[in-house]
Structure 1
Amino acid sequence: MSSTSSSGSTGAAADDSQLLRHHTPFKLFWCASVASTIALQMQIVAVGWQVYQLTHSAFDLGIVGLVQFIPSLILVFVVGHVADKHDRRNVARVSALVEALAAATLALGSMGGWLNREIIFAIVFVIGAGRAFSKPTMSAMLPSLMPAALLPRAVAGSASATQFAIIIGPAVGGFLYVAGPAVVYASSCVLFAVCSLLLSLIKRPPQARAAQGGKPTGASLSSVFAGLAFIRSKPAIFGAISLDMFAVLLGGATALLPVYAHDILQTGSAGLGLLRSAPALGALAVALFLARRPLRGRVGRTMFIAVGVFGLATIVFGLSRSFALSLLALVALGASDMISVVVRSSFVQLETPDEMRGRVSAVNSVFIGTSNQLGEFESGLTAAWFGAVPAVLIGGIGTILIVLLWIRLFPALYKVDRLAAR
């Protein structure tokens, strides 16, 4: 009996994977995500290395994260309303074009020699505004492209695209930087334009037309704040989102990678690219595994364990003076983070009605932006006060403490067994 059940499960997994591979909207979405993420990751390496070469300040690396986060915070409720009331494909397309124009400006500034610290911060702010719209909009778009039963696999498949791009992007960006930052930024501009083109080829799903209605409606306070109200009414969803926020906020070691590459490991821009790629290598391996064999039970407990491992890997990286050990620690960090991402993303999307997904995704994006961009600012500030190594160690220890506290505060999340479709 158990042998038959296992065979049936394997057959279903194969059928699901086959469907994903031949699902044209998903393939276009997947390719657009790859192009956009490679472009962004190349930019991140170039901006981080360029700013650190200009100022040699860990605090300024933190400012880069802060100015990317501010637009997400300011625009959170506007973004959610726009994503729910307008064609999500067009919103994401325009956002990609804004990012392309920002990349082109960075390229021209690098070639002309007129880029300085303040101008880079201003352009990064514009990039952050583009991401504030594109990230939650694409997140809300994915569930409307396929049946709910396939969503966990689709999330893992989409995450594998992102992690593949995060592996390729930083490595390519680090090596291209040898030819100059303008080359990196120009390449990013082209890839953002490709992303916009691919999104324009996706046909609007019938269920999206029905959910979003024929004509966009005006924004009201109740509509704009509905995403936040929905999350507050669901303790398990709030617990999942906030766990990720605080864990990555404290464990943001990647913000200090230019410092580690330049001063501690002494690897140069090419080494920085490899360090940036390492977390994505671990994340990609896990995403591909979960796309084939999704988690079947005790997903809440698994997520908590994964975040705890994330904290331990952060501590190991902070203490390492070996380039090889640092790479391994970052691979483990990315692998554990991906487990948490797949569980949280699938759980939140499956528990949210389609007509609310844009607003919920926008609030979720601010939490994620807080953990990533604001986490970079926290890491830069802490490093400026105590040094890079103590800053990373404090973050890793803080992440583990957050896991223990959240298990007590959100027992319902810990007890979630399966990711069930609505």
Structure 2
Amino acid sequence: MKKLFSIFQNKNYALLFLASFASQMGGIIGLTALLYYLLDRFSQQPAYATITELMLSLPTLAVFFLVGVFADRFDRQKIAKNCDWICAGLSILLLLSLYIEWMPFTFAVLFFRNAVKSFFNPAQTSLIQGILSENEYSVAVGLNQMVASLFMLFGNGLGVFCYWTLGVEGAVLVDAASFVVSGLLIQACRISKEVRMPNGKHSIRQLNIASVWNEFKLGFSYILQHKLLLALVSGFSLFGVVNGGLSVMQVFILKYKLAPETYEEMSIVLGIVFGAGFLTGSIAASILSQKLKLYHILILALIVSGSATISGSLVNNIWLYMVSSFFIALSLPGINIAIGGWIPSIVNPKMMGRVQGWINPVMMLSQSLTLLFIAALYPAFIALESLYWLVGGSLIAVGIFYMLILPKFLELNQVADVTID
């Protein structure tokens, strides 16, 4: 515990940590309020809520091949603080779009704001890596997990509370203020040039899109050459299906089936239940990873989460649904820890960055396709319960698929060790 708090003696880290917290808060409160505003204002058009969530994933696909290059080629501190300030300005534009009630403009602003936010994390994470020692970096990752759990526990409730008390306009203004505070905290850091620009100073005119794209193609070829690695990376597409589905399915089932009159209040309780399950699952999966083989944890977590998702569609009592949601959240960290902990052990360190560069786009693509599927087919062509069966069935099917193929790949010792150019 002493080591956990001693890291804050590093002033630069303390400022970056608070900036990350403020920036995350700026991304959650307004978006949550907007989601509930659209459900209230356009209750007969649930596709609007789905499109709002879609605006979180599509921007990542638009800029994924640039964000890492920007963090390596340009001033990381300037990238991070400018991302925050641009997002603050776009939040003001979002207010204007709500005032005139032109939904295409609203969705366009959300798209550009989340595209800009995509550049923040690589730059901020790279700064933290440069100002901490190797031992301290593991402590920083643990703190980030704690913050993520807190936002999962209370972020949705905080957004709904701001919506009730300040209205959607006030919640978006809180977003804008959070981004400004984050930018000021990052500007206050005193970070050496070597950390901010480890590869020297570059101009935007020197950026060669063709060479960047070739690096990503090399990573893709590397993944395709190794069946075990391909199977694990493909698993991240499942995260996209789960994230995309649950981001709207849980709100829909509360509003249209289980608690139509009190769905906003119940969504706060559900967020706490889900966050508590995720936090408990993270601890349990970390302990189990020391005692069981990773693919055993992965298969077990997939089948449990899939079964819990399907059971959630079968109950008509909101408290039984809470139990199902708890077990979904409890098992998801096992999937993340198993895949995330396995990949580094089978990838050549020289290729790790290029492999990682494909993981987020794979996940965001499947998330976007899932949200597009829901927006197009629900509620006109597909029942709400069918969405739960689709997501839950996908989890179970992948669990069975891994049960059949992963032991064979391990026997073949599929380690990614090809020659690298």
Q: TM-score range by the shorter chain?
A: 0.7 to 0.9
Q: Does 2:237 correspond to 1:245?
A: yes
- Say which is worse superposed, 180-189 or 250-259, in terms of deviation: 250-259
Task: Identify the match of residue 41 of structure 2 among 42, 45, 54.
Answer: 54
Please report the TM-score for the alignment, with normalisation by the length of structure 1: 0.79
Quote the offset at 1:78 in angstroms.
2.0
**How many residues are treated as equivalent by the alignment?**
399
Identity of aligned residues (%): 17
Please report the TM-score for the alignment, with normalisation by the length of structure 2: 0.79
Taking a change above 3 Å as real, the CA distance of residues 325 and 47 of structure 1, as seen in their structure-2 partners, is same
Taking a change above 3 Å as real, the CA distance of residues 276 and 328 of structure 1, as seen in their structure-2 partners, is same
Taking a change above 3 Å as real, the CA distance of residues 210 and 108 of structure 1, as seen in their structure-2 partners, is closer
Aligned amino acid, residue 72 of structure 1: T
Pick 1 or 2: higher relative contact order, CA cutoff 8 A, min separation 6.
Answer: 1
Aligned amino acid, residue 313 of structure 2: G
In 2, are the aligned partners of 1:153 and 1:294 still within 8 Å (CA)? no
Quote the offset at 1:158 in angstroms.
1.1
Corresponding residue of 1:196 = 183
Taking a change above 3 Å as real, the CA distance of residues 246 and 183 of structure 1, as seen in their structure-2 partners, is same
Q: Does 2:273 correspond to 1:271?
A: no
Corresponding residue of 1:389 = 385
Q: Give the Cα–Cα distance (whole angstroms) in 1 for the partners of residues 191 and 339 of structure 2.
A: 26
Corresponding residue of 1:79 = 67
Q: Give the Cα–Cα distance (whole angstroms) in 2 for the partners of residues 155 and 318 of structure 1.
A: 35
Task: Identify the match of residue 296 of structure 1 among 290, 294, 297.
Answer: 290
In 1, are the aligned partners of 2:60 and 2:364 still within 8 Å (CA)? yes
Taking a change above 3 Å as real, the CA distance of residues 269 and 386 of structure 1, as seen in their structure-2 partners, is same
Q: Give the Cα–Cα distance (whole angstroms) in 1 for the partners of residues 348 and 185 of structure 2.
A: 27
Q: Give the Cα–Cα distance (whole angstroms) in 2 for the partners of residues 413 and 337 of structure 1.
A: 23
Taking a change above 3 Å as real, the CA distance of residues 232 and 34 of structure 1, as seen in their structure-2 partners, is farther
In 2, are the aligned partners of 1:62 and 1:376 still within 8 Å (CA)? yes
Corresponding residue of 1:233 = 222
Question: Structure 1, residues 322-362: CA drift from partner, whole Å, max 9, x if none?
Answer: 222323332332332233334545555785759974x6555
Task: Identify the match of residue 404 of structure 1 among 400, 404, 407.
Answer: 400
Task: Identify the match of residue 51 of structure 2 among 52, 63, 88.
Answer: 63
Question: Structure 1, residues 37-80: CA drift from partner, whole Å, max 9, x if none?
Answer: 23322233222222223332333333223343332222221223
Task: Identify the match of residue 256 of structure 1 among 231, 249, 260.
Answer: 249
In 2, are the aligned partners of 1:93 and 1:200 still within 8 Å (CA)? yes
- Alpha-carbon RMSD across the aligned residues, in angstroms, is 3.6
Corresponding residue of 1:174 = 160
Quote the offset at 1:190 in angstroms.
1.4
Task: Identify the match of residue 186 of structure 1 among 157, 164, 173.
Answer: 173
Corresponding residue of 2:207 = 218
- Say which is worse superposed, 249-258 or 20-29, in terms of deviation: 20-29
Taking a change above 3 Å as real, the CA distance of residues 37 and 163 of structure 1, as seen in their structure-2 partners, is farther
Q: Give the Cα–Cα distance (whole angstroms) in 2 for the partners of residues 210 and 140 of structure 1.
A: 10
Larger radius of gyration: 2
Q: Give the Cα–Cα distance (whole angstroms) in 1 for the partners of residues 330 and 194 of structure 2.
A: 34
Equivalent position SS for 2:316: coil
Aligned amino acid, residue 328 of structure 1: V
- Say which is worse superposed, 200-209 or 377-386, in terms of deviation: 200-209
Unpaired stretches in structure 2, ≥5 consecutive residues: 414-421
Equivalent position SS for 2:26: helix
Q: Give the Cα–Cα distance (whole angstroms) in 1 for the partners of residues 327 and 123 of structure 2.
A: 29
Taking a change above 3 Å as real, the CA distance of residues 137 and 250 of structure 1, as seen in their structure-2 partners, is same
Q: Does 2:110 correspond to 1:115?
A: no
Aligned amino acid, residue 22 of structure 2: A
Question: Structure 1, residues 279-305: CA drift from partner, whole Å, max 9, x if none?
Answer: 3332234446778x6943533432343
Q: Give the Cα–Cα distance (whole angstroms) in 2 for the partners of residues 211 and 409 of structure 1.
A: 42
Quote the offset at 1:397 in angstroms.
0.9
In 2, are the aligned partners of 1:309 and 1:333 still within 8 Å (CA)? yes
In 2, are the aligned partners of 1:59 and 1:380 still within 8 Å (CA)? yes
Unpaired stretches in structure 1, ≥5 consecutive residues: 1-13, 417-422
Task: Identify the match of residue 336 of structure 1 among 331, 335, 353.
Answer: 331
Aligned amino acid, residue 303 of structure 2: G
Aligned amino acid, residue 195 of structure 1: S
Q: Give the Cα–Cα distance (whole angstroms) in 1 for the partners of residues 302 and 124 of structure 2.
A: 25
Question: Structure 1, residues 363-410: CA drift from partner, whole Å, max 9, x if none?
Answer: 332233234444333334443321212111211111211232245455
Q: Give the Cα–Cα distance (whole angstroms) in 1 for the partners of residues 188 and 217 of structure 2.
A: 32
Q: Give the Cα–Cα distance (whole angstroms) in 2 for the partners of residues 106 and 138 of structure 1.
A: 25
Q: Give the Cα–Cα distance (whole angstroms) in 2 for the partners of residues 74 and 88 of structure 1.
A: 20
Q: Give the Cα–Cα distance (whole angstroms) in 1 for the partners of residues 343 and 121 of structure 2.
A: 15
In 1, are the aligned partners of 2:81 and 2:184 still within 8 Å (CA)? yes
